[in-house]
Amino acid sequence: MQSTTYTAAALAERFGLSLRGDGDAVVESVATLAGAGPRQLSFLSNPRYRSQLADSTAGVVVVRGEDAGGLERTLLVARDPYVAFAKIAALFDPVPAANPGVHPSAVVDGSAVVDPGAEIGPLACVGARSRIGPGAIVGPGCVIGEDCTIGAGSRLVARVTLVRRVRLGERVLVHPGAVLGADGFGLAMDAGRWIKVPQQGGVVVGDDCEIGANTTIDRGAIEDTVLGEDVRLDNQIQIAHNVRIGAHTAMAGCVAVAGSTTIGRYCLIGGAAGIVGHISICDRVTITAMALVTASIDAPGEYSSGTPLMDNRSWRRSAARFRQLDALARQVQALGKEKT
């Protein structure tokens, strides 16, 4: 569908890269080193793929300065080839612009305010008192409940639900199946039965956030659940009520964060990690995959829990010994004492 092409020289100038080789080389799309042909651009960022560079038939390759030496081919030299590649690739995959108007199959409440520059897709639903900003896209099958706000240029791809009192900033991207603003899980036990604690807060999502497919972000019990700007959440993440996530933090798929926890800025949370409720994690903390955070963290750095993968028979032996670990340690203490 794309027919726009760029020369290597034009790309170098547009993104401030230094060109080596044939500035007239034409790029019509991007590809992997292994898959690229002469009219495609590729990149080398991860050193493990360096061996592919020699064999690649890519017309243009984005590389670091130290990887450029001795290569007889057209190169764009970048400080960070992955960043440069991302920007170049975006030329060939433009973000869809809103096609303004309300699809006739959509159902919009009379009290909702839809900007004339917004797009409400087929079979979408917009509830009472909600406001859709200019250039925003509410894709097919989305349900926007009551008292929500969608900022300018935000995009709900398809089948997203904003339940109640959800306020999205500008340029927020939400993938299908995500549910924002459902009731937080607030319960109190009263005479042997659960009673529900009303969830009167909302969800506030900062500018430039991205929310993955089937991710859930509950609204707050009293105050709001809050994501700072440029927070990036992958698929199937669960953010409980009253969690606060600092700007530029990114979480891989399937992370679970329990209620009222605060996470700092520039944190990286690995896939399927768990974070318990009512704790605080400072800025620039990295949590590795499937680790469980059970207490506050006040120093930047990388944290882990769990045990390494083993063949099942060996693992059974180690696991059985784990049960006896306290007794084993006491035995060693005793041996140490007896010796002296």
Residues facing 167 on adjacent strands: 149, 204
What end-to-end distance do the CA atoms of the chain give, in Å?
81
Does position 309 interact with a second copy (CB under 8 A)? The reply is yes
Distance CA 16, CA 28 (A): 19
- Using rule CB under 8 A, residue 321 touches a second copy: yes
Binders of a second copy among 40-69, rule CB under 8 A? Answer: none
| Strand arrangement of the beta sheet that strand 274-275 belongs to | 107-108, 125-126, 143-146, 161-164, 179-182, 216-218, 238-239, 256-257, 274-275, 292-293
Contact 216, 238 (CB under 8 A): yes
Q: What angle do CA 97, 103, 108 make, to 5 degrees?
A: 110
In the complex with a second copy, which residue's Cβ is closer, 82 or 115?
82
Choose which of 28, 92, 101, 283 interacts with a second copy (CB under 8 A). 92
- Report if residue 256 touches a second copy, rule: CB under 8 A: yes
Q: Are 150 and 170 in contact (CB under 8 A)?
A: no
Among 85, 98, 153, 227, binds a second copy (CB under 8 A): 85
User: To the nearest 10°, the Cα dihedral for 95, 181, 244, 130?
Assistant: 60
Q: For the window 117-156, what string marks contact with a second copy as x by the rule CB under 8 A? A: ----xxx-x-x-----------xxx-x-x-----------
Q: Does 182 bind a second copy (CB under 8 A)?
A: yes
Spatial CB neighbours of 211, under 8 Å, sequence gap ≥ 6: 172, 173, 174, 175, 178, 180, 205, 217, 233
Among residues 18, 99, 105, 111, which is the contact residue for a second copy, using CB under 8 A?
Answer: 105
Candidate residues 230, 244, 245, 263; the one interacting with a second copy per rule CB under 8 A? 230
Of 4-12, 19-27, 64-72, 319-327, the segment contacting a second copy by CB under 8 A is: 319-327
8-47 mask for a second copy (x: CB under 8 A)? ---------------------xxxx--x------------
Which is catalytic among the residues 103, 175, 241, 248? 241
Nearer of residues 75 and 211 to a second copy, judged by Cβ: 211
Give, in order, the Cα–Cα distances in Å from 21 to each of 4, 15, 151, 217, 324: 22, 17, 44, 50, 65
Within residues 195-214, the interface with a second copy by CB under 8 A covers: 195-200, 208, 210, 212-214
Compute the least distance from the CB of residue 155 to a second copy, in Å: 11
Least spacing, CB of residue 14 vs a second copy, in Å: 15
In the residue annotation, 241 being an active-site residue is answered as: yes
Q: In which residue are the tokens 């089948």 written?
A: 159
Active site (catalytic) residues: 241
